[in-house]
Chains A and B, each alone.
Chain A
Amino acid sequence: MSTPPVTAPLLSAKGLRLAFGGVKAADGIDLDVMPGEFLAIIGPNGAGKTTFINMSTGYLRPQAGSIEFDGQPILGLKPRAIVRRGIGRSFQLPQLFTEHTVLENAALAVASRLGPWSPLTPLLRPAWREEAMDLLERFGLAQVAESRADTLNEGARKLADIAMAVALQPRLLLMDEPTSGVAAAEKMQIVETLVRVLRQSGVTAVFVEHDMDVVARFADRVAVWSQGRIAALGPPAQVLADPVVQRDVIGISTHA
C-alpha cells in the first residue's frame, strides 16, 4: 500500500528516547502510523519493541520526544486516559482475569467502554452479554465462552486478550507478539482470524512479530527495530529482501 503523504498519520512518534540504566531501549524513534494500515515491528529481543508499545500506551514515559495520536499529544496521560482516546493494546503474556470466564472477560471490556454503571447492574445483562458473545464468535471463541480464562490454551488466550482490546473499539490497536507461544499449526489460523476481524472493524494495527511468513503475508509496512532505533522501514517485500536486515535481524529473531 503506497499511501500518499497527504493523509495525516494516526499515530506520530518523534525523537523518543528512553534508557534503563545504560541500556537504550529507545534511542531516537521517529515513526508515523497511517490510518488503516497494518504495520509490523520486527527485530531482535531487547531492541525496544515492547518499550515502544509501552510508551505509546502510557505505561512508560520517554525521557525525550513526543507522541501524538490523531494530532493530539498523549504523553503524560495515564494508560486509562489513552485507552479512552482510542488506543488499545494486547499483551505478550495475555492479561486475562483468570478467575473469570471468557465471556465475563469480554463483557467486562464491553461494559467498561459503555460505563459508568450502577453497582447493581448485572455484568451479564442481555445487551452486554450479546455484544460480548458476538465479539467472541467473531474471534472463534464462542465455544469456550463459559470456560474459566485460565483453562484456555495459549492460542485462545491470545485471541481472548486481543478480543478484550477490540471490545473497547479502539482506532489503533498495538499488539505485542500476538502469536508468540502459539503452536506453529495454529499460528496462521490465529493471524487470519485477527486480520479478518480487524479489517472488518477498520482498526489500524501495529504488531510485534517474529514470524517472517506472517509479516510477509499480512503487513502493509515493516519497521525493523535495532538497539532502540528504526533500522529500516518500508513494504515487506523490500525490507525483508534487504541483505543487512536478513543478516542482522531475521537471522537472530527467527530463533527467538
Chain B
Amino acid sequence: MTPSDDRGAERRAGPKRPALARETLLAIIGALALVLCAWAIPWLKFVLTIALAKGIAVLGILLLLRAGQVSFGHSMFLAVGAYTVAFVAPGTPEVLLLLPLAALLAAALGLVIGLFVVRYRDIFFGMLNLALSMVIYSLLEKMYAVTHGTDGIRVAGLTFAGQRLEREVQEWAMFGIALTLAVGFGLLVRAYLGSPMGRALAGIKTRETRLEFMGLSARLVLLFAYVLSALMGGVGGALVAMTSRHVTPQLAYWTSSGELVFIAILGGAGSALGPFLGATAFELVRVYAAAAVADAWQMILGGVLLVVILFAPGGVWGILSSKLKGRGA
C-alpha cells in the first residue's frame, strides 16, 4: 500500500482525530529532535535554521498546491523578504521590526501580482509566476548601484529586542525565532486549510465551476491564499537573510523557486508538517552531498527527487504518517 492510498483510506474512514493526534505528536517530536540536533552538533544549527526558514516559505507553496496550482516563481517573495532585511538593517537593525516589515512588503507585492495571476490556471499560472520572478531577478541583478548585482549585499549586524548578541547566542536566537514562527505558521495554515476558505481553495483543484455556482469567487479564494503564501515567503526570506547574513539575486532565480516546489513534494503535500520535514531533509541531503561529492550534489538531489516522486508520492510525511499509524492502530 502506497502512502497516498493510505491517506485516501484514512479520509474515507472519516473522523480525523487519529490523524490530528498523529500530526501533533510528530510535530512535537520533530521540534524536540531539531533542538536536540542543534544542541548536539553546533554547526547543524545554521543548516536547521535555514531549513525552518525555507519550510515557512514552502508552506505557501503548499497552499497553492492545494488549489492544484504550481508557482515556479515563488522565490521572488523570498527575495523580497531577504532584500528588505539587507536594505533596512543598516538603519534599523531590530529583528523584531525587520520581520514584520519583510512580511508586509512581500504580502503587498503578493497582492499586486496576485490580482493579476489568479486569473490564470495551471501552466499559465506557473509560467506567469516564473516570468514575474525573472523580472524581479533581473532587476536585482542589473541595478548594481542599489543591489551590488550578483555580488549581493552583506547583512549588517542585527539586534534582538534592542540587544546585540554574541555570535553563539545570536545563532540560538535565530534558531528559536525560526522554530517559533514555523510552529505559528504551521498552526495558522492548518486552521486555514480546515476552514471554508481552505476547503474552497482545495475545491479550485477539483471543481472550480461549482465554487462559482455556490456564490463564491474562485479568484478571491485563490488571491487570499496567494497573498498569505507571499507573506510566508517574505518571512522565510527574511529569516534566510538574517541567518546567512548575505543576500544575492540567486534567491529569486527560477531554480530557487523550483527548489521550493521540490521541498513541498519531498516533504509531502498532505500535512502542514510536510514542508518542514521536506526542508530539513533537503538541506541535510544538500550539505552531506556537497561534502561528499562537491561537483554532483545537484545530481544527487535530483536523484532523490525522482525516487520520491516515483516511489513515495506522499513524501516524507506520507512515509512517517503511515509508519506511525501502523504502530498506533
Q: Do chains A and B touch in the complex (CB under 8 A)?
A: yes
Binding site for B on A (CB under 8 A): 57, 78-81, 83-84, 88-89, 95-101, 104, 107-109, 111-113, 115, 117-124, 128, 146-148, 151, 164-165, 168
Cα distance A99–B197 in the bound complex, in angstroms = 15
Is B303 positioned at the interface, with any CB of A under 8 Å from its CB?
A: no
Cα distance A151–B14 in the bound complex, in angstroms = 13
Interface contact A120-B212, CB-CB below 8 Å: no
Partner of A118 from B195, B207, B214 at Cβ < 8 Å: B195
Q: Which residue of A lies closest to B214 (CB)?
A: A112
Interface contact B12-A147, CB-CB below 8 Å: yes
Q: Which residue of A lies closest to B13 (CB)?
A: A146
Is B162 positioned at the interface, with any CB of A under 8 Å from its CB?
A: no
1/0 contact trace for B197-224 toward A, CB 8 Å? 1111011011101101111110000001
Interface contact B14-A108, CB-CB below 8 Å: no
Interface contact A99-B192, CB-CB below 8 Å: no
Known: A109-B214, A119-B197. 15 other contacts (CB 8 A): A79-B213, A83-B214, A83-B215, A96-B210, A100-B206, A107-B196, A112-B214, A115-B196, A119-B195, A119-B198, A128-B196, A146-B14, A147-B14, A148-B11, A168-B215
| A-B residue pair count with CB separations less than 8 angstroms | 101
Cα distance A119–B215 in the bound complex, in angstroms = 17
Chain A residues, Cβ within 8 Å of B328: none
- The B interface is mostly helix, strand or loop, or mixed, namely helix
23 contacts between A and B (CB under 8 A): A57-B213, A80-B212, A81-B215, A83-B214, A95-B210, A97-B199, A97-B203, A98-B207, A100-B202, A100-B206, A107-B196, A108-B196, A108-B200, A112-B200, A115-B196, A115-B216, A119-B198, A121-B195, A122-B195, A124-B194, A148-B12, A164-B210, A164-B214
1/0 contact trace for B179-202 toward A, CB 8 Å? 000000000100110111111101
Interface contact B191-A80, CB-CB below 8 Å: no
Partner of A97 from B195, B206, B224 at Cβ < 8 Å: B206
B54 to nearest A CB, angstroms? Answer: 24
Is B326 positioned at the interface, with any CB of A under 8 Å from its CB?
A: no
Interface contact B207-A123, CB-CB below 8 Å: no
Interface contact A89-B213, CB-CB below 8 Å: yes
Q: How many B residues touch A, CB cutoff 8 Å? A: 30
A223 to nearest B CB, angstroms? Answer: 22
- Interface hub of B14, B203, B206, B213 (most chain A Cβ within 10 A): B213
Interface contact A95-B209, CB-CB below 8 Å: yes
Cα distance A98–B207 in the bound complex, in angstroms = 8
Cα distance A88–B215 in the bound complex, in angstroms = 10
Is B91 positioned at the interface, with any CB of A under 8 Å from its CB?
A: no
Cα distance A193–B232 in the bound complex, in angstroms = 48
Cα distance A81–B192 in the bound complex, in angstroms = 25
Partner of B213 from A80, A97, A119, A151 at Cβ < 8 Å: A80
Chain A residues, Cβ within 8 Å of B212: 78-80, 83
Partner of A80 from B196, B205, B217 at Cβ < 8 Å: B217
Interface contact A120-B11, CB-CB below 8 Å: no
1/0 contact trace for B207-247 toward A, CB 8 Å? 10110111111000000100000000000000000000000
Given A108-B214, A123-B194, verify A97-B202 contact (CB < 8 Å): yes
